[in-house]
Amino acid sequence: MPFGATVEVLSNAWAGAPVQSVHLVSLSVTILVGGVVAAVFFRWD
């Protein structure tokens, strides 16, 4: 889990500083991978 990216994004957003795109990409990829894993393993019967 990209906890460092989450902390950086939230800290920068709270301070009004620009958010680095690499952190947003990291969070987006994590959400995408988590969604795919959930769709594969957690299906309704």
pLDDT at 45 over 80: no
- pLDDT tens per residue, range 2-33: 788 889 999 999 999 999 999 999 999 999 99
pLDDT at 1 over 80: no
Tokens of 20: 């680095």
DSSP label at 16?
T
Tally of domains in the chain: 1
Q: Identify the domain containing residue 12 by its residue range.
A: 3-41
pLDDT for 2? 78
Tokens of 35: 């969604």
